[in-house]
Structure 1
């Protein structure tokens, strides 16, 4: 067995991690060296304050941009005195942390919390119990950190997990409404819509992002991605950005070109695995993947891929919802057309298709990499359909870009636009190779785009966020967008 190793609780011991050259010089011998007996990471109080207590309170799990408190208990005869006792803290993430990449930070006591850098402050009076307030910036990498105290000799105080923070206004995943945060970050259950435009059916799904072991597995999923294998520090540094993390999640939920979680199967033959319709929760899938040395799990289809992506996103602190598009186009050649192609005997020889329904996820985040106006919901699709930058993943792409046909914006706007807006045409391919157009329709795709409503089990129709109302003006507009895109392409 190759199970996920749990994150250890607080410990006190020496750290063998070295410093960059400019920081390797030992601290001057402090006037009053702290003789630390133990360190309390105050996980019960901190986890509750940081909305992570559903993960448990036996280890420290906090969100970036919000201070957390740790308490140093000194041995008898040792005393902390502000302005006299000197030390610095070191936080590190990843196997080869570096100051210049933001995966390591070394910082000393300040009078108050800093907003743009790691900092530590205290109001403790002289004595042998020292309460420290540690603050992280709202844009540092998320993941598993070590915490070390250095006063000439390094002492490891423990480890903690840092997550994205939808409660912090400076975090890229900030959501203003508490009811939205409850639904899209903290809710462990939801509904996924399947069926047809004439019969939409809601199926319950347990996301279970706070179930035992889930956070460890989600962090392991990040560490198993190929970018981590090729350059672990650059990958860990990239985890400051929810756009980057969302693309990693999208790639790792499928197993087409990495050690991802699920194998897709639409053949109807599931004898060597689980029929996709039999899955009802993400927990069993992720445990099976992790407990078997990251062997891919058989089998999934679109709603399973999306549901597992939602679990991982919420576990890491990225607001997420599962979205279903009824009459969903799969454009294989990026011409924004679904071309149904038949031979002279009537046999379907098409590469393109329109599915009864297709399921993906929306993630909530700012997009500082784009012009203003594209923050908010971003579509991301972990079902392996087409490659994006050489990898089977899709998104995130702003819903606004899809609605307005701004197909040059990252990531994969043309593909998602086609899913909800593609024109459908039919051709017969003659034996001489000539193509004869038979007919088509502009309103066969992109209907009843659905997600679970906030705070209730009602279906929330979000079609208006993806596309303008159907009608002649919409048809003309879509044709124009396609012509411009194809000509530019």
Structure 2
């Protein structure tokens, strides 16, 4: 007997083999119900006609069946979920079963793994099914399927019975690839643009009956495919590196937390591919589409973000699951994945991805609780590497979060005639209610739509937009500067060639209707060039300018402040509400460590030194400084006015990957040039731009120790020098605000009308320390104050909702000093970590 063979190339999606180019109808569900232990006959798929035993039934009437084909098929003995109608109960009433004809041995397909395969598919033999992190977990498995790289070929051995011959025909599945039978070998070629995912080759006879199947996984190819956009010949550390470092802390005091990526754990690869099920098939080969989508998927489906106050081990957040205790999950093993964790407790991506998979299996919202930027980045690095994309985690110290796309961060203050500057704690309270409605704003003679650009930029209010001045804070009320932020870089070609692309999985701002960010070309970020998709946002993070808005008030009581907010009573200069019409591209208060984008680092290639393993604060030698890649002026002391980010006049608006080309438009942002709309760009300190004289000098280098110890006295010190020949009087005001690493104040209490921020008591129970210093001609004086140890006790801070030992919490000090006779004003804003006694 002669049997013809047909080799079919198939791409597997959502757990079901789909023959490319063929159609099919959904099976109708019947009314049949099953019980555990029933024997069933499989009615569909490649295991059609196999028997099986029902071992589990879901609430949606799906049944998990252990297959019993008895014919030596590779899937024999495995389990699978079937919908009603896809299996049929075997009638036990039959007295005698028909005798089964003995079947001929089916052909076998196996991979030819030789030196040629290893050179074309580098590192692919390292993907392994490893034991689960949690013994209760059942992560997906390769089950012997090989991993191959696109843009290359490989060979399969087809073993036929000696009595058979083959008349081979070829069916090509669209652009997915090509399989061809040559003698006893199947030659498979995968295009350079093939979608990544699970594939199968089928051997069919002339009647389309399946004789043999072979499953394999296709991933990206940075090694042996120069025509692939992901090609890289110099970044193997960022493709196969298992041990990573995530730098965290303040720009002048940070540590490196170790992270395990495990890119060759098969479960991590298969879970990453499962995430791509939500992406249209043909986009799974497009690096831009895949990486942009992953920034959304990690923050939406894998990790649940939580910052600031509250318990990280309990509760039930909106859109999340109820946090279960270890005692609870010990009794309810099926809920093993329903526990919650402090973001700082994670040290590896594998347990997060495995827990996410467990949540998916249990049918609850699938985002693991809880994560923050460094966790999002660590997970995305693992996913990128396991899919075959050179990926690394990048930390930006003093990272600006620009919400209104003006490449700047707005800071708001109140100031009194006595020279006290008080920072606004919650800038979202500065937006008058009438600014939220175009109709109400019109009654105030403010056209919000017409003046939207002026509001965003904060300039040009001498003409028709003057009535809109109070609405300036509405556009930037969520602006902040994070003490650090961790995102990712992935290396592939897009637009101008192969280069590092910045991407961010931390949910921050909407882009294209979703929380996603990137890819943003790092070279274009450096040159301040707007581009698709979120380059402006990254430019703001590393090069954003600082804008100061100062409300003038007679005193600091709440009613007085509210009246100033409603009237938009900013300090005016040349008709501009922006203080002195300035964008500061360095810290306005003269501290280089507070400059936006002070430093950008990642782990350098190579092994981590023993000293870094032993002490996370001793990892400076493990850094690769990326600051010059992001900034034209990488060092704060050498910055010049041309280094300022400025405001982008043209901003491309780009279609999401896969959209029609007709929707890809280049639109120029409408600009209103009213009055004095030009910015003065400076790098001087505040005191150099205020007052009628600069004869007083202030030295803040010893103002506060580098670290603050709990339960210890805290000395504060400022040195003032009068270089002139006349008497000078200084008014000093100092506050200290508790913040999380996003620069957001820690809330100690919240009512319906107001939020109360955590402030450190500095003078007894007073949180505002005010003093006056007299300086005679040519005199130098040292102002000193000691905050007593009881004001820094762990118990006191806990009552203020502060976990003082938490590594991402810091104290933000604000110091203002005002010379009464000349109006000269000094400002200083250092921030410090709290440490346990003896750890300083």
Structure 2 regions of 5+ residues with no counterpart? 1-11, 24-104, 129-141, 315-339, 416-421, 428-476, 552-563, 572-577, 587-594, 609-621, 652-667, 671-840
Does structure 1 residue 264 correspond to structure 2 residue 313?
no
User: In structure 2, what is the Cα distance between the partners aligned to 1:422 and 1:315?
Assistant: 33
Based on CA coordinates, which of the two structures has the bigger radius of gyration? 2
Deviations 1:46-83 (A, max 9, x none): 87552212213821210001211101000121245xxx
Give the 3 Å change call, closer, same or farther, for CA 199–415 of structure 1 in structure 2.
same
Matches within 5 A, 1:463-478: 463-469=627-633, 470=635, 475-478=640-643
Once the two structures are superposed, residues 9-45 of structure 1 have per-residue CA deviations (whole angstroms, 9 ceiling, x without a partner) of x9xxxx8847459xxxxxxxxxxxxx96211134688
Q: Whose relative contact order is higher, 1 or 2, with alpha carbons under 8 Å and at least 6 apart?
A: 1
Residues 16 and 319 of structure 1: CA distance in aligned 2, closer, same or farther (over 3 Å):
closer
Matched, 1:403 2:526: yes
Tell me, yes or no, if structure 1 residue 175 matches structure 2 residue 224.
no
CA contact (8 A) 2:192 2:228 kept: yes
Q: What does 1:292-331 correspond to in 2, within 5 Å?
A: 292-293=359-360, 295-331=366-402
Structure 1 partner of 2:253: 199
1:453 matched to which residue of 2? Answer: 604
What is the alpha-carbon distance in structure 1 between the residues aligned to residue 542 and residue 260 of structure 2?
27
Q: Could you tell me which residue of structure 2 aligns to residue 434 of structure 1?
A: 569
The CA deviation at 1:220 is 1.3
- Kept in 1: contact 2:544–2:644 (CA 8 A): no
| Paired position in structure 1 for 2:498 | 375
How far apart are 1:215 and its partner, in Å? 1.4
Q: Specify whether residues 20 and 286 from structure 1 end up closer, same or farther in structure 2 by C-alpha distance, changes over 3 A only.
A: closer
Q: 1:164 to 1:243 in 2, by over 3 A?
A: same
Name the counterpart of 1:220.
274
Equivalent residue number for residue 147 of structure 1: 201
Distance 2:294 2:519 in 1: 11
Deviation digits for residues 201-248 of structure 1 (CA, Å, limit 9, x no counterpart): 11110012222411111111112x3xx4xxxxxx11101111110011
Does the 8 Å contact 2:394/2:602 carry over to 1? yes
- 1:134 partner SS: strand
CA contact (8 A) 1:374 1:401 kept: no
Match of 1:415 in 2: 537
Aligned-pair distance for 1:479? 4.4
The separation in 2 between residues aligned to 1:480 and 1:446, in whole angstroms, is: 11
Deviations 1:160-201 (A, max 9, x none): 110000012111100012xx22x1111122111111111231
Q: 1:347 aligns with which of 424, 438, 443?
A: 424
Q: Does 1:120 align with 2:177?
A: no
Q: Do the aligned partners of residues 149 and 382 (structure 1) sit closer, same or farther apart at CA in structure 2, a change above 3 Å counting?
A: same
Q: Match of 2:238?
A: 184
CA deviation after TM superposition for structure 1 residue 276, in Å: 0.7
State the 1:150 CA deviation.
4.4
- Give the 3 Å change call, closer, same or farther, for CA 321–203 of structure 1 in structure 2: same
- Given the two structures, how large is their TM-score scaled by the length of structure 2? 0.46
SS of the aligned residue for 1:248 comes to helix
1:246/1:452 Cα in 2 relative to 1: closer, same or farther (>3 Å)? Answer: same
TM-score, normalising length from structure 1? 0.77
Query: What is the match of residue 159 of structure 1?
Result: 215
| Corresponding residue pairs, total | 411
Question: Aligned with 1:254: secondary structure?
Answer: helix
Q: 1:111-155 CA deviation, whole Å, 9 max, x = no partner?
A: xxxxxxx35363x4xxxxx12321111111111112223453333
Aligned 8 A contact 1:90 1:147 in 2: no
Instruction: Say if 1:246 and 1:18 are closer, same or farther in 2 by CA, change over 3 A.
Output: closer
| Secondary structure in structure 1 of the residue aligned to 2:238 | helix
Note if contact 2:397-2:485 (Cα within 8 Å) is conserved in structure 1.
yes
Aligned to 1:389: 512
* Separation (CA, whole Å) in 2 of partners of 1:389 and 1:399: 20
141 and 402 in structure 1: CA distance in 2 versus 1, 3 angstrom threshold: same
1:88 is the counterpart of 2:170:
yes
